[in-house]
Amino acid sequence: MASQNIENVTRIGSNTEGILSDILSKRLPNGWKFGLSNEIYENVDGKNYEMTGIPPNYELNYSRNTKEFYIDLLTELKTNDRAIEKVIELNK
């Protein structure tokens, strides 16, 4: 979120997961444990990205499926890394 206010920072990739708050852990009298999101993080304009995630400047649509993400990442590392190619394109 802090990178949104730095002029020379460009975010490339996919939205973050939208999990910003720390967990407040509690235990019920019956022994059950539970956690609550107990903080609100907002950017300088007052926007809250909880649940929606912080968007990149350039979306690369990475898979949200963990297995697919890692397979795609390994493939890109051997062929063409989209993020690195975008950095090169932007700095020409």
The radius of gyration of the chain's CA atoms, rounded to the nearest angstrom, is 18
Residues 72 and 13: beta-carbon distance below 8 Å: no
State the Cα–Cα distance between residues 81 and 42, nearest whole angstrom: 32
Residue 44 pLDDT class (50, 70, 90 cuts):
very high
Residues 51 and 18: beta-carbon distance below 8 Å: yes
Residue 92 pLDDT class (50, 70, 90 cuts):
confident
pLDDT at 11: 94
Residue 76 pLDDT class (50, 70, 90 cuts):
confident
Query: Is the pLDDT assigned to residue 42 strictly greater than 90?
Result: yes
Which residue blocks in 1-92 are alpha helix, DSSP H? 66-78, 82-90
Helix/strand/coil percentages in the chain, nearest 5: 30, 15, 55
Interval 20-28 mean pLDDT: 92
DSSP 8-state symbol, 65: S
Residue 80 pLDDT class (50, 70, 90 cuts):
confident
Tell me what percent of the residues of the chain surpass a pLDDT of 70. Answer: 100
Q: Residue 49 CB: number of other CB atoms within 10 A?
A: 19
Query: Is the pLDDT assigned to residue 63 strictly greater than 90?
Result: no
